[in-house]
Amino acid sequence: MSGLELRPGLELPERVEHPTTRQLVQYAGASGDFYEIHYDQEFARAAGLPGVVLHGLLKAAFLARLVTSWAGDRARLRAFEVSYRGLDLPGRPLRCRGVVRGVEGGVAELELWTEDAEGRRTTLGSATLELLEPERGGQI
């Protein structure tokens, strides 16, 4: 992203994640979130779900990565927020997308979201980035 001019409307290069049940078990272990709806199919169905579902915070991690891998060391993440709006199931691709909404005073505001195979936005988010090379006039 060197020399890229940051302007409202600029889209981040999207990342497509392919979460698996194996990844949900890995995430349960690494995060310590052992709620059974994330790895026990019978438990999940008894709770009224179509099957095991992704951890909201795993989707948050995907969106955070979208931002940090794009920004590299040219910007510092100051704030990051996500709201979980829909369930996502393993075995289905999950598009992670973002767009620059504003740039002012060395700070960029991003809108972020995950999108399922049907185009539903299942996670909505935002991020505030502090640009570390403001002398370059909004370029990072």
Partner 1 sequence: MSAERAASVVERLRARIGREVAESVHTIEAGHVRRFCEAIGDDDPRWREQVPPTFVVALGTETPELPEALEHGRGWLNGGDRFEYLEPIRIGDTIRARSRLVDAYEKRGRSGDLLFLVFETEYINQHGRVAVRSRGTRIRR
Binding site for partner 1 (CB under 8 A): 17, 23, 26-27, 29-33, 35, 37, 47, 55-58, 60-62, 64-65, 67-69, 73, 76-84
Q: In whole angstroms, what is the distance from residue 63 CA to residue 98 CA?
A: 8
CB of 92 to partner 1, least distance (A): 16
**Euclidean distance between the first and final Cα of the chain, in Å?**
7
Half-sphere exposure of 129 (CA within 13 A, CB side): 31
CB of 55 to partner 1, least distance (A): 8
**What residues have CB less than 8 Å from 83, skipping those under 6 apart?**
123, 124, 125
By C-beta, is 78 or 120 nearer to partner 1?
78
By C-beta, is 79 or 99 nearer to partner 1?
79
By C-beta, is 7 or 29 nearer to partner 1?
29
By C-beta, is 7 or 34 nearer to partner 1?
34
CB of 102 to partner 1, least distance (A): 18
Q: In whole angstroms, what is the distance from residue 95 CA to residue 97 CA?
A: 6
Query: Which helix (H) or strand (E) covers residue 102, if one does?
Result: strand 94-104
